[in-house]
């Protein structure tokens, strides 16, 4: 019989499921399954649980302290975790800076940083984008000037997710203004407690505080905190962007939110799934998710064999970002008027509390417009894919 | 001298221009706009904006096309106010109900801005049917999430009488219990109102039976059309903001407007806006008509077209702005959130598609 997974993989799935059943706190699970966005504490709780199980670096090879999951095991793990209601892991350390350190970092970097990433003792954020350099990242201006054994870093980063929660930031900085702009960029690891760093919140239009401006005013960073050679930052960045785009919890999110959509349809007492038009929208979305999910799996099987198939990074990023947005849009459509309230009025003589489960639907729909913008906008992804198809 | 052509849809009338001009003048005062709708409200009254829906004999224009233009300008300004329910739908209804002379004084007070009215007319969405009953001259039940329901002095509601007939009733603030008072995704207030055996006064019985049915359908069409007109204004602002941004923002050494995919996206947004304007103007022009079927079809098509355009324009505006489109301090997000309220309050385009050919 043809099957998607091997027996061993199915057994692995059960192991993961058992772990989630035993360990994931019920309260956390419930909040995540009702669409709440995780707090810093939630993410720490989850990472510590993984760490205790030896899965803190679950995306890492064994030689770096990971469990050495195969690509498919990683997929299964995330699929189960999302659907069980685990919070998303903080990707910046685990999935972004860690692979760069493994590939380009010194032994000292590996020893110092990797264990604290796996346990989430260090919370990381990503300092790439600048006000003038978003899609055109290579034009970045934040300067790092050599001063003895240190660099002095001056400039501004923007849209830095969770900088206000972070202990460390990895940054692309300009160490040379000569030659090709990509060649003057270096990759620095900077302690967020360094004097001269200022973090200012940016509130997004859903009302959330996720992103920030990070200002650097002559911040002293030891040269020892540079990963790779001076001028090799762009190579590190490109390697990392590949990783970033390949790491889409997107599909797990979509499945979880489709399940919630159907539950809400039942609970609102007047199942809109009985309406053929709406049912068709849900059905179409589920089939699109299935097709993207299978595409993801096919890419992973190829990775396992060491083959290159298609354009995994851009396609998965584009597909999963749209699907995430579309499932949230359907939730909004489903709830209609019930999705209007987002909080109790201030002056309120309100005896009834707002049911938070419904109050987060419209804001999350707003918030997830970000998915087609960040991690390389979908337009930039298409440019990359087109270049590879057409030259 | 007024030519006959002035009553043809899409041909503007001079008086509309004057009124819109004075509204634009008010809305150009940024400080006034920042203060929210309350300080603006008195200014709107003084400029004659709130009495535009009154009969000509009371100093109004009695012309839904003018009201749609005003709603559009308010939508463009980004200020969310009770204009649609109070100054368009309710004010117009009070001159259309049987024995409308009962409401001369109320109409005048609405026009002068000294009172405001909220309205809860079930939309096209089945599940949003009225939860209000009228038995033995008493109204009981719940009206869910009525815009400006807690701020209003009067509320117009639909109730089901014991024989299953609809009734259109008017209640005062003092008759209702505010069960829940919330802020919506657009930042506007909504309230769930409860009535416990409120005895109808002679003036609270607006209409019953087939008369009520006619007025309810009409009131719904006005509300939807005006909401669409307001959305049109918001979309026009988003298209302008996005067009401007594409010309000033540079990446890769070029303005964003140099990238063909973004040029095409902007064109699609503008095309959606253009169609939206056509259907809104048509529906507004037909609101005064006796041809109920033509009016209904026009309003459904408007609701459908604007609901789709609103999603497209708001989503693409954010996308083409990139990160800055997500920031609350730029105006894009505010319009995005307000545009979401059309499908939330009145249903998405599926409901229109289902009903249109039926
Ligand atoms: C919620 C959120 C979180 C983020 N988190 C982080 C983070 O943690 N760290 C970090 O470094 N950055 C982060 N970013 C920044 C993100 O990577 C940038 O927003 C993104 O790269 C786009 O850059 P920009 O905002 O400057 O938009 P711009 O580059 O100005 O783009 C504006 C629009 O033009 C389009 N465009 C630009 N160039 C082209 C082209 N050549 N062809 C076609 N279309 C083009 C874009 O696709 C977009 O639609 C985050 C952004 C958001 C919204």
Mark whether B226 and B101 lie in a shared domain: no
- Nearest-CA neighbor of A75 among A136, A5, A170? A5
Q: Which of residues 186-225 of A touch B (CB under 8 A)?
A: 202-207, 211
Catalytic residue status for A357: no
Phi (first) and psi of residue A189, to 5 degrees: -105, 120
Among chain B residues, CA nearest to A337:
B344
ipTM attached to this prediction: 0.96
Residues of A in contact with B329 (CB under 8 A): 202-203
Q: Indicate the helix (H) or strand (E) that contains A295.
A: helix A276-305
Q: Indicate the helix (H) or strand (E) that contains A146.
A: strand A143-147
Mark whether B35 and B87 lie in a shared domain: yes
Q: Tell me what the mean pLDDT of segment B136-159 comes to.
A: 95
Domain of B228, CATH number, reads 1.20.140.10
For residue A387, what are the contacts with CB-CB under 8 A and spacing of at least 6?
none
Q: In angstroms, what separates the C-alpha of A72 from chain B's closest C-alpha?
A: 33
Specify the domain boundaries for CATH 1.20.140.10 within chain A.
246-390
Is the separation of the CB atoms in B32 and B255 below 8 Å?
Answer: no
| pTM of the predicted protein model | 0.97
Mark whether B222 and B204 lie in a shared domain: no
State the distance from the centre of ligand 1 to the C-alpha of A314, rounded, in angstroms: 15
Is pLDDT of A25 > 60?
A: yes
Q: How far is A34 from A175, CA to CA, in rounded Å?
A: 46
Q: In angstroms, what separates the C-alpha of A341 from chain B's closest C-alpha?
A: 4
Can you tell me which residue has the tokens 């997500």?
A: B326
List, for residues A199-256, the tens digit of each pLDDT value: 999 999 999 999 999 999 999 999 999 999 999 999 999 888 776 656 556 899 999 9
> How is residue B214 written in tokens?
């006619």
Is pLDDT of A269 > 70?
A: no
| Ligand 1 neighbourhood includes A52 CB (under 6 angstroms) | no
Average pLDDT, chain A: 93
Phi (first) and psi of residue B179, to 5 degrees: -80, -35
Query: Which of A133, A343, A349 is the closest to B183 by Cβ?
Result: A343
- The confidence score (pLDDT) of residue A243 equals 66
Specify the domain boundaries for CATH 2.40.110.10 within chain A.
124-231
- The confidence score (pLDDT) of residue A119 equals 95
| Ligand 1 neighbourhood includes B322 CB (under 6 angstroms) | yes
- The confidence score (pLDDT) of residue B6 equals 65
- The confidence score (pLDDT) of residue A350 equals 47
| pLDDT band for position B1 (cuts 50, 70, 90) | very low
> How is residue B308 written in tokens?
């789709």
Listed residues B59, B77, B112: the one ending a domain: B112
Mark whether B223 and B311 lie in a shared domain: yes
Architecture of the CATH domain A246-390: Up-down Bundle (1.20)
Is pLDDT of B164 > 90?
A: no
List, for residues A155-174, the tens digit of each pLDDT value: 999 999 999 999 999 999 99
The domain of B145 spans: 117-208
Least-confidence region, from A23-32, A356-365, B127-136: B127-136
Can you tell me which residue has the tokens 């789709």?
A: B308
| pLDDT band for position B9 (cuts 50, 70, 90) | confident
Q: Which of the listed CATH numbers 3.40.50.300, 3.30.420.40, 3.40.630.10, 2.40.110.10 matches domain A124-231?
A: 2.40.110.10
For residue B274, what are the contacts with CB-CB under 8 A and spacing of at least 6?
none
Number of structural domains in chain B: 3
Mark whether B252 and B297 lie in a shared domain: yes
| pLDDT band for position A312 (cuts 50, 70, 90) | confident
B12 vs B185, higher pLDDT: B185
Phi (first) and psi of residue B205, to 5 degrees: -90, 95
Percent of chain A with pLDDT over 90: 86
Degrees, nearest 5: CA angle A62-A68-A74: 150
Is pLDDT of B63 > 70?
A: yes
Mark whether B231 and B286 lie in a shared domain: yes
Mark whether B217 and B188 lie in a shared domain: no
Mark whether B199 and B227 lie in a shared domain: no
Q: Tell me what the mean pLDDT of segment B43-54 comes to.
A: 96
Listed residues B174, B193, B208: the one ending a domain: B208
Is pLDDT of A176 > 90?
A: yes
Q: Tell me what the mean pLDDT of segment A46-65 comes to.
A: 96
Mark whether B156 and B187 lie in a shared domain: yes
Atom of ligand 1 nearest to the CA of A367: 1
Is the separation of the CB atoms in B299 and B283 below 8 Å?
Answer: yes
Mark whether B328 and B224 lie in a shared domain: yes
Q: How far is B169 from A311, CA to CA, in rounded Å?
A: 62
- Where helices occur in B165-291 by DSSP H, the ranges are 209-248, 260-286
Mark whether B237 and B261 lie in a shared domain: yes
List, for residues B209-264, the tens digit of each pLDDT value: 999 999 999 999 999 999 999 999 999 999 999 999 999 999 999 999 999 999 99
Q: Tell me what the mean pLDDT of segment A296-303 comes to.
A: 89
Listed residues B69, B85, B112: the one ending a domain: B112
> How is residue B175 written in tokens?
């008759």
Which neighbouring-strand residues pair with A226? A188
| Ligand 1 neighbourhood includes B254 CB (under 6 angstroms) | no
Domain of B102, CATH number, reads 1.10.540.10
B166 touches chain A (CB under 8 A): no
Mark whether B225 and B259 lie in a shared domain: yes
Is B253 in a helix, a strand, or coil?
coil
State the distance from the centre of ligand 1 to the C-alpha of B74, rounded, in angstroms: 31
Q: How far is A27 from A130, CA to CA, in rounded Å?
A: 38
């Amino acid at each position: 019989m043809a099957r998607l997974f091997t027996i061993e993989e199915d057994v692995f799935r059960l192991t993961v499921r058992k772990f989630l059943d035993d360990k994931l706190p019920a309260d956390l699970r419930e909040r995540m399954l009702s669409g709440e966005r995780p707090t810093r504490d939630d993410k720490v709780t989850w990472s510590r649980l993984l760490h205790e199980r030896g899965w803190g670096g679950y995306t890492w090879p064994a030689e770096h302290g990971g469990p050495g999951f195969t690509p498919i095991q990683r997929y299964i793990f995330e699929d189960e975790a999302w659907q069980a209601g685990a919070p998303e892991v903080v990707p910046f350390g685990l999935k972004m800076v860690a692979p760069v350190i493994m590939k380009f970092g010194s032994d000292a970097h590996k020893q110092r940083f990797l264990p604290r990433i796996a346990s989430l003792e260090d919370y990381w954020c990503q300092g790439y984008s600048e006000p003038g350099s978003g899609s055109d990242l290579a034009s970045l201006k934040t300067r790092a000037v050599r001063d003895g054994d240190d660099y002095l870093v001056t400039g501004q980063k923007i849209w830095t997710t969770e900088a206000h929660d972070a202990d460390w930031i990895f940054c692309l900085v300009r160490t040379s203004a000569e030659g090709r702009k990509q060649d003057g960029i270096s990759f620095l690891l900077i302690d967020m407690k360094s004097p001269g760093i200022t973090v200012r919140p940016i509130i997004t239009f859903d009302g959330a505080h996720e992103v920030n401006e990070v200002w650097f005013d002559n911040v002293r960073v030891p040269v020892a905190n540079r990963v790779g050679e001076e001028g090799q930052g762009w190579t590190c960045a490109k390697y990392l962007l590949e990783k970033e785009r390949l790491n889409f919890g997107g599909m797990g999110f979509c499945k979880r939110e489709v399940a919630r959509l159907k539950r809400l349809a039942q609970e609102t007492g007047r199942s809109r799934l009985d309406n053929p038009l709406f049912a068709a929208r849900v059905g179409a979305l589920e089939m699109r998710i299935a097709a993207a999910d299978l595409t993801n799996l096919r890419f992973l099987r190829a990775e396992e064999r060491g083959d290159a198939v298609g354009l995994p990074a851009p396609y998965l990023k584009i597909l999963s970002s749209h699907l995430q947005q579309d499932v949230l849009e359907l939730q909004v459509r489903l709830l209609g008027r019930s999705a209007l309230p987002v909080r109790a009025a201030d002056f309120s003589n309100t005896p009834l509390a707002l049911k938070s489960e419904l109050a987060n639907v419209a804001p999350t729909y707003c918030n997830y417009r970000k998915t087609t913008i960040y991690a390389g906008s979908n337009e930039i992804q298409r440019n990359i894919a087109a270049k590879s198809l057409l030259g | 001298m007024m030519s006959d052509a002035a009553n043809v849809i899409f041909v503007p009338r001079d008086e509309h221009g004057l009124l819109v001009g004075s509204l634009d003048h008010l809305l150009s005062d940024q400080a006034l706009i920042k203060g929210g709708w309350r300080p603006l409200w008195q200014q709107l009254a003084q400029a004659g904006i709130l009495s535009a829906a009154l009969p000509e004999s009371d100093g109004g224009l009695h012309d839904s096309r003018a009201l749609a233009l005003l709603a559009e300008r308010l939508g463009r300004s980004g200020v969310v106010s009770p204009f649609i329910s109070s100054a368009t739908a309710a004010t117009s209804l009070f001159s259309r109900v049987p024995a409308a002379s009962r409401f001369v004084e109320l109409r005048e007070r609405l026009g002068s801005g000294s009172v405001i009215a909220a309205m809860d007319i079930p939309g096209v969405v089945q599940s949003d049917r009225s939860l209000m009953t009228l038995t033995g001259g008493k109204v009981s039940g719940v009206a869910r999430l009525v815009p400006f329901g807690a701020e209003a002095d009067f509320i117009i509601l639909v109730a089901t009488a014991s024989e299953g007939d609809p009734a259109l009733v008017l209640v005062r603030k003092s008759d209702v219990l505010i069960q829940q008072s919330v802020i919506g995704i657009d930042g506007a207030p909504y309230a769930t109102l409860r009535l416990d055996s409120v005895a109808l006064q002679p003036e609270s019985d607006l209409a019953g039976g087939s008369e009520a049915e006619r007025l309810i359908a009409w009131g719904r069409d006005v509300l939807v059309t005006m909401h669409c007109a307001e959305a049109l204004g918001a979309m026009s602002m988003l298209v302008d903001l996005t067009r401007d941004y594409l010309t000033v923002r540079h990446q890769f050494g070029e303005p964003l407007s140099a990238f063909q995919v973004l040029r095409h996206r902007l064109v699609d947004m503008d095309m959606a806006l253009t169609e939206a304007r056509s259907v809104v103007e048509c529906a507004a022009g037909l609101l005064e008509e006796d041809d109920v079927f033509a009016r209904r079809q026009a309003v459904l098509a408007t609701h459908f077209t604007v609901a789709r355009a609103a999603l497209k324009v708001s989503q693409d505006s954010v996308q083409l702005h990139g990160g800055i489109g997500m920031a609350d301090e730029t105006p894009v997000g505010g319009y995005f959130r307000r545009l979401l309220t059309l499908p939330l309050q009145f249903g998405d385009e599926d409901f229109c598609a289902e009903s249109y050919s039926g």
